[in-house]
Amino acid sequence: MNSGARTYRMTARAQAVEQTRQAVLEAAIALHAERLASDISLADVAERAGVSVQTVLRHFGSREGLIEAALEQASAAVEDERRVAPGDLSGGVRAVVEHYELRGDGVLLLLAQESSEPFAARVTAHGRMVHRRWVTHTFGPLLPTGRGREEVVDLLVVATDVYTWKLLRRDRGLSAARTRSRMEQLVRAVLAAPHG
């Protein structure tokens, strides 16, 4: 066998291994957006991914290893989905509402479990930190300097929070466009108000 054929086979095998790994991670992430964490077994993840439990364990070592990898992947996806240029107020609100349209109901399910499920508590604590960092980065050029800055960040965190989206989108039944408009009005009002 020539080295070109061997290299091709090794590359194809590595790609297949990575595709399987991604399928398992996507299955784990999707299931946690649909069900209580305590109701999700490795067998459920394996079935959703179209692989065996042994394959899941071969890739991740344990349930905890799978959860760590899924958390890392989901976190990176969230940051990508919300990425906008600093100071782009409308773009920032649009990005966060689009993110909630995609993942908001799953986030709310995790929030409902945070007091009883350690995994959910870890995910939601991480999510709060990511959201605050996103607010500070996205609206950074629009924030006051010195006294009052942290107050404004606190208020912008609330104005762009998943619960704000839920109140408008799910509880009030507004369209995504109207929800986005209302949230943008909140952000503009916070930034326009005197602080400090």
Taking only the tens place, the pLDDT of each residue in 47-91 is 989 999 999 899 999 888 888 888 888 888 888 889 999 999 999
Q: Are residues 70 and 14 part of one domain?
A: yes
The pLDDT value given to residue 166: 98
Higher pLDDT, 116 or 36: 116
Q: Are residues 194 and 154 part of one domain?
A: yes
The pLDDT value given to residue 135: 97
Q: Are residues 181 and 91 part of one domain?
A: yes
pLDDT at 134 over 90: yes
Q: Are residues 47 and 105 part of one domain?
A: no
pLDDT at 136 over 80: yes
Do 92 and 86 contact (CB within 8 A), yes or no? no
| Neighbouring C-beta atoms of residue 43, cutoff 10 Å | 11
Each residue's pLDDT tens digit, 6-48: 666 667 777 888 888 888 888 887 887 788 777 888 898 899 8
Q: Are residues 99 and 63 part of one domain?
A: no
Helix locations, the chain, DSSP H: 3-34, 42-49, 53-60, 63-82, 89-113, 118-138, 149-159, 162-165, 176-192
The pLDDT value given to residue 17: 80
Q: Are residues 97 and 63 part of one domain?
A: no
Instruction: Give the torsion sign (CA, 36, 95, 93, 73).
Output: positive
Q: Are residues 191 and 96 part of one domain?
A: yes
- Cα-based angle 173, 177, 182 (whole degrees, multiple of 5): 75
Do 86 and 138 contact (CB within 8 A), yes or no? yes
**Tokens describing residue 127:** 């999510």
Q: Are residues 169 and 122 part of one domain?
A: yes
Residue 138 to residues 13, 58, 83, 193: CA-CA distances in angstroms? 41, 40, 8, 18
The pLDDT value given to residue 25: 81
Q: Are residues 194 and 109 part of one domain?
A: yes
* pTM above threshold 0.85: no
From CA 101, how far away is CA 115, in angstroms rounded? 24
From CA 139, how far away is CA 87, in angstroms rounded? 5
The pLDDT value given to residue 87: 97
The pLDDT value given to residue 14: 77
**Domain range enclosing 168:** 83-196
Do 56 and 146 contact (CB within 8 A), yes or no? no
The mean predicted confidence, pLDDT, of the chain is 89
Q: Are residues 54 and 132 part of one domain?
A: no
- Burial letters for 122-138: b for 16+ Cβ neighbours within 10 Å, e otherwise? ebbeebeeebeebbbbb
Domain stop point among 74, 106, 128: 74
117 DSSP 8-state letter: -
Q: What is the CA radius of gyration of the chain?
A: 21
pLDDT band with cut points at 50, 70 and 90 for residue 196? low
Q: Are residues 66 and 160 part of one domain?
A: no
In CATH, what number is assigned to the domain containing residue 48?
Answer: 1.10.357.10
